[in-house]
Structure 1
Amino acid sequence: MNSDQLKGRIEQAKGKVKEATGKVVGSEKLKTEGRVDQVTGKTQASYGDAKEDPKNLIDKT
Protein backbone atom coordinates (compact mmCIF):
# COMPACT_ATOMS: atom_id res chain seq x y z
CA MET A 1 0.00 0.00 0.00
CA ASN A 2 1.46 3.35 -0.99
CA SER A 3 0.98 6.73 0.68
CA ASP A 4 -1.70 7.90 -1.78
CA GLN A 5 -3.82 4.84 -1.05
CA LEU A 6 -3.45 5.33 2.70
CA LYS A 7 -4.10 9.08 2.67
CA GLY A 8 -7.10 8.62 0.39
CA ARG A 9 -8.70 5.98 2.58
CA ILE A 10 -8.12 8.11 5.69
CA GLU A 11 -9.74 11.07 3.95
CA GLN A 12 -12.72 8.89 3.02
CA ALA A 13 -13.12 7.80 6.64
CA LYS A 14 -12.90 11.39 7.89
CA GLY A 15 -15.52 12.37 5.34
CA LYS A 16 -17.90 9.66 6.53
CA VAL A 17 -17.52 10.81 10.12
CA LYS A 18 -18.04 14.43 9.12
CA GLU A 19 -21.13 13.57 7.08
CA ALA A 20 -22.62 11.52 9.94
CA THR A 21 -21.91 14.33 12.39
CA GLY A 22 -23.63 16.77 10.05
CA LYS A 23 -26.69 14.53 9.95
CA VAL A 24 -26.80 14.28 13.76
CA VAL A 25 -26.46 18.02 14.38
CA GLY A 26 -28.56 18.99 11.37
CA SER A 27 -25.81 20.86 9.55
CA GLU A 28 -26.18 20.73 5.78
CA LYS A 29 -22.78 22.41 5.40
CA LEU A 30 -21.03 19.71 7.45
CA LYS A 31 -22.79 16.93 5.53
CA THR A 32 -21.70 18.47 2.24
CA GLU A 33 -18.12 18.88 3.42
CA GLY A 34 -18.13 15.22 4.43
CA ARG A 35 -19.31 14.14 1.01
CA VAL A 36 -16.64 16.28 -0.66
CA ASP A 37 -13.97 14.75 1.60
CA GLN A 38 -15.17 11.27 0.66
CA VAL A 39 -14.97 11.99 -3.06
CA THR A 40 -11.54 13.58 -2.64
CA GLY A 41 -10.34 10.58 -0.66
CA LYS A 42 -11.74 8.11 -3.16
CA THR A 43 -10.00 9.94 -5.99
CA GLN A 44 -6.68 9.93 -4.17
CA ALA A 45 -7.02 6.25 -3.23
CA SER A 46 -7.87 5.37 -6.84
CA TYR A 47 -4.78 7.25 -8.01
CA GLY A 48 -2.72 5.26 -5.51
CA ASP A 49 -4.32 2.03 -6.71
CA ALA A 50 -3.44 2.92 -10.30
CA LYS A 51 0.18 3.56 -9.30
CA GLU A 52 0.29 0.20 -7.53
CA ASP A 53 -1.15 -1.84 -10.44
CA PRO A 54 1.97 -1.74 -12.65
CA LYS A 55 4.09 -2.80 -9.68
CA ASN A 56 1.82 -5.80 -9.11
CA LEU A 57 2.03 -6.79 -12.77
CA ILE A 58 5.81 -6.69 -12.67
CA ASP A 59 5.93 -8.72 -9.45
CA LYS A 60 3.72 -11.45 -10.96
CA THR A 61 5.95 -12.02 -13.96
Structure 2
Amino acid sequence: MSIESHLAELERRHEALSKQIDQATNSPSADTLELVALKRRKLQLKDEIARLKVENTIH
Protein backbone atom coordinates (compact mmCIF):
# COMPACT_ATOMS: atom_id res chain seq x y z
CA MET A 1 0.00 0.00 0.00
CA SER A 2 1.44 3.36 -0.97
CA ILE A 3 1.73 6.20 1.52
CA GLU A 4 -0.84 8.20 -0.43
CA SER A 5 -3.44 5.45 -0.34
CA HIS A 6 -2.72 4.79 3.33
CA LEU A 7 -3.19 8.49 4.10
CA ALA A 8 -6.43 8.55 2.12
CA GLU A 9 -7.74 5.58 4.10
CA LEU A 10 -6.77 7.19 7.42
CA GLU A 11 -8.48 10.43 6.39
CA ARG A 12 -11.60 8.50 5.37
CA ARG A 13 -11.68 6.77 8.76
CA HIS A 14 -11.11 10.11 10.52
CA GLU A 15 -14.10 11.62 8.70
CA ALA A 16 -16.25 8.59 9.50
CA LEU A 17 -15.36 8.96 13.19
CA SER A 18 -16.31 12.65 13.03
CA LYS A 19 -19.74 11.72 11.74
CA GLN A 20 -20.11 8.97 14.34
CA ILE A 21 -19.14 11.41 17.12
CA ASP A 22 -21.66 13.97 15.85
CA GLN A 23 -24.41 11.36 15.84
CA ALA A 24 -23.50 10.14 19.33
CA THR A 25 -23.34 13.69 20.66
CA ASN A 26 -26.84 14.43 19.35
CA SER A 27 -28.27 11.21 20.75
CA PRO A 28 -30.08 11.48 24.08
CA SER A 29 -28.82 8.04 25.04
CA ALA A 30 -25.17 8.75 24.23
CA ASP A 31 -22.71 6.65 26.19
CA THR A 32 -20.10 9.00 27.62
CA LEU A 33 -17.39 6.35 27.75
CA GLU A 34 -18.02 5.36 24.14
CA LEU A 35 -17.90 9.01 23.10
CA VAL A 36 -14.57 9.49 24.87
CA ALA A 37 -13.20 6.38 23.16
CA LEU A 38 -14.35 7.62 19.75
CA LYS A 39 -12.76 11.02 20.32
CA ARG A 40 -9.52 9.40 21.49
CA ARG A 41 -9.41 7.21 18.36
CA LYS A 42 -10.10 10.24 16.16
CA LEU A 43 -7.21 12.11 17.79
CA GLN A 44 -4.91 9.09 17.31
CA LEU A 45 -5.81 9.02 13.62
CA LYS A 46 -5.19 12.76 13.32
CA ASP A 47 -1.76 12.34 14.94
CA GLU A 48 -0.89 9.42 12.66
CA ILE A 49 -1.98 11.38 9.58
CA ALA A 50 0.16 14.35 10.62
CA ARG A 51 3.15 12.11 11.35
CA LEU A 52 2.91 10.38 7.98
CA LYS A 53 2.60 13.69 6.16
CA VAL A 54 5.71 15.02 7.88
CA GLU A 55 7.66 11.83 7.20
CA ASN A 56 6.52 11.86 3.58
CA THR A 57 7.75 15.42 3.01
CA ILE A 58 11.13 14.73 4.66
CA HIS A 59 11.91 11.74 2.46
Choose which of 34, 39, 42 in structure 2 pairs with 1:30: 34
Give the alignment's TM-score, normalised by structure 1.
Answer: 0.63
Alpha carbons of 1:46 and 1:52: their partners in 2 closer, same or farther (altered >3 Å)? same
Q: Does structure 2 retain, via aligned residues, the 8 Å contact 1:21–1:31?
A: no
Bigger helix share: 1
Structure with higher Rg: it is 1
Same amino acid, percent of matched pairs: 4
**Which amino acid in the other structure matches residue 42 of structure 2?**
Q
Q: How does 1:1-61 map to 2 (within 5 A)?
A: 2-25=4-27, 26-55=30-59
- Could you tell me which runs of 5 or more consecutive residues in structure 1 were left unpaired when the two chains were aligned: 56-61
Write the deviation string for residues 7-57 of structure 1: whole angstroms up to 9, x where unpaired: 3312321221221122122221332122112111101101220122124xx
- Could you tell me which runs of 5 or more consecutive residues in structure 2 were left unpaired when the two chains were aligned: none
Q: Which residue of 2 aligns with 1:58?
A: none
